Amino acid sequence: MKFLRLSLVLSVVFVVAQLAVAQGNRQHVPASSIPAADLIQPADFAAALQSGTAKPLMLQVGSRVLFAQAHITGSEFAGPANQPAGIDALKARVAALPKDSAIVLYCGCCPWERCPNIAAAYNLLKAEGFTNVKALYIADNFGNDWVNKGFPTEKGH
């Protein structure tokens, strides 16, 4: 009986370990891990965009559905960074860019502390050697913190 119980426990541990390995890049990295110096507040970013200065590459690293509903005018969909396909798309999009390119990442799928995408995208770009990467700090969600404030948006794509 003890052998059967031990065997069952080991089987469960093995399955859980295999699931963790299979998830790979989808492990949650907290948005709070992004240094405060690399965060941009929505009002400040909207003002910078409206001032007409050179625009950074703006990449939405959340879901396609959210991007289609509303996104920052001129931004591009890069795919959810908590999934391997999103990471691959992000890598492909920036592959030919100079490492000092100005890049602003944003998601807004959920409250900042629960976002599964923003830190994964930020960390990837930093690991790839990009030196001018910022993250748009969206405390609650994109609707409340950007759209409802009247900042520039477009729909579709």
Give the model confidence (pLDDT) of 85-141 as tens digits: 999 999 999 999 999 999 999 999 999 999 999 999 999 999 999 999 999 999 999
Measure the CA–CA gap between 2 and 4, rounded to whole angstroms: 5
Total-model pTM: 0.81
Mean per-residue pLDDT of the chain: 85
- State the pLDDT at residue 11: 36
Banded model confidence at residue 27, pLDDT cuts 50, 70, 90: low
Phi, psi of 136 (to 5 degrees): -75, 120
- State the pLDDT at residue 23: 42
In the chain, DSSP finds a helix count (H) and a strand count (E) of 6, 7
Domains of the chain, earliest start first: 28-154 (3.40.250.10)
Measure the CA–CA gap between 76 and 90, rounded to whole angstroms: 10
